[in-house]
Amino acid sequence: MPVLTRFDTPAHLPEPTEGDRDAWSARIQGVVVSLTADHPQFFDPTVGEIGPDVQAPVVAWTAFPATLLEDATSEEQRWAAADASRDVQDEYCEWSVERDDDGVITRVTFTTEVPEYFQHLARDPDRLLATYRELVGPQVRLEDLVVDGRYQPRNVHNRSTTGRLAHLVQGSNTLEAALRLAAQATVLRHDADGQPVTSAMTLVRCGRLGDPRRNSDPQIAAAVNDAAATGAEISLQDPVGIYIDRLVVGGMETPDGEDPATFWTVERGDAEHVLRASYAVPPDRPYRVGDVTVDGRPIRFGAQLADRVSVRLTALVRPADHRPERRPCVG
């Protein structure tokens, strides 16, 4: 694997200048360096050779919030709950829904774009505004986004589950949180009986690594922790980011028999690094998203698609000869 000279932008998004690229890299490196100081098995891939034996395991999970599954009383209840607020969309993927005058869904937009990148964009207000207008619509004004010289991630165009969203805003959905989780999960744990803690949910609780009921935190923690137990060093693959992995169309049916996968459009990123995608029926067809069925039910909630959207990050595992000692639980 080639030497990494700097952290690239999520999905290799273009930057106007080398200085902008360096600024993003410095932002990420600031987080990574602070984590490597405390976690000897978490490494900075921009320092030295990564090595030829490095593996890049993918950790994937479902966009629908697992925290809502436990209390669900019916499918409709959980779908409605997930569609009701961005604050419950805590799997590093959020979505918003557009409907027509009949209330029928016409488009669902998913994003995994992290707020840190928009803080980075906000260094140049014109660029921030242009990006918002591209993603959300021409109605966006700069004063909606920047107040007293500070970018407001939860602005009027990016806090609801209706319309078009811009980027992640749920409190846990940040790139720093993902990096911190990966670093902290390199610490091996044992329980009160001295037994190794390896199962995902228990590990997260034991190491205070996030919410054990989420899809994402336990998945990331378990994968990292298992690799760390071999003595390996761990990091995240460049371009560091959370990506939409795919939409599973099994069980979906369109009124005219068209392949339901054809209505999934990648809006930002590339085929390997999807940051934003939407599901919409082209205007030349006489039906809408709400006329497409999933397991026999018309799509009435964006969450029905979130059940089928998977999200991923890619770790880097570099063989090493650490001999970590297990520590007691802190949670």
Partner 1 sequence: MAPPTTTVPSCAAFRQLPPEVLQPGSVHRLVLGEDDAVRVLGDEEAAAELGDPFATHLLLRGVFPRTAGDVLSALDRATPDGHRLREELVFLLGEGSQILMSAATVGVERRLRFLVVRGVGAEGADVLLSAAHPDSGDVELMAWDHRAGGFNYYQSVGDSTAWVFAGNSRHALCGPTQGKGPFESHVSGNVVMKELRSPWLHWHSRAANILPSVLPADPPLVGHPWVSSRNPQGADICEVAVAKPGINRWTRARFQRLVDDGVVDDPGRVMVQVLDTPSVNLIASNRESRDVAAGGPLVLPQTFFVDSEALTEVLGLPAPPRFAVAAETYLRSLRTFDVHQEDDAGVRHAGDTHFAFAVPERAFEDQAVLRRALAVGLLSERLAACLLMVDFPNPVFSRRRASLLAHVPPRARITEGSWDLSDAMADAILDAAPDTPAGSPEREFAELWEDVASLGDRLHPYYAAVTARLGSQAGFDDYVRLAESRRHRVRQMPISESSLLFARTDVPARERRMTADGTVVEV
- Which secondary-structure segment (H or E) carries 29? helix 18-38
> Both tokens of residue 78?
């959980």
Task: Choose one: 8-16, 21-29, 155-163, 195-203; the region binding partner 1 (CB under 8 A).
Answer: 195-203
Task: Choose one: 106-114, 132-140, 251-259, 318-326; the region binding partner 1 (CB under 8 A).
Answer: 251-259
Choice from 107, 205, 268, 300 touching partner 1 (CB under 8 A): 205
The structure tokens 């639980």 sit at 329
Minimum CB distance to partner 1 smaller for 157 or for 213 = 213
**Cα angle, residue 89 at apex, residues 260 and 217 outer, rounded to 5°:** 105
Residues 226 and 196 sit within 8 Å (Cβ to Cβ): no
Beta-carbon contacts of 98 under 8 Å, excluding residues fewer than 6 positions away, are 105, 106, 107, 108, 109, 162, 163, 164
Q: Which of residues 14-43 bind partner 1 (CB under 8 A)?
A: none
CB of 121 to partner 1, least distance (A): 30
Q: Which of residues 46-85 bind partner 1 (CB under 8 A)?
A: 55-58, 60-62, 66, 69-75, 77
Beta-carbon contacts of 219 under 8 Å, excluding residues fewer than 6 positions away, are 59, 60, 61, 200
Q: Which of residues 287-326 bind partner 1 (CB under 8 A)?
A: 295-296, 307-308, 310
Give yes or no for residue 251 binding partner 1 (CB under 8 A): yes
The structure tokens 């990292």 sit at 224
Q: Which residues bind partner 1 (CB under 8 A)?
A: 55-58, 60-62, 66, 69-75, 77, 195-196, 198-202, 205, 212-213, 215, 218-219, 222-223, 226, 229, 248-253, 259-261, 295-296, 307-308, 310
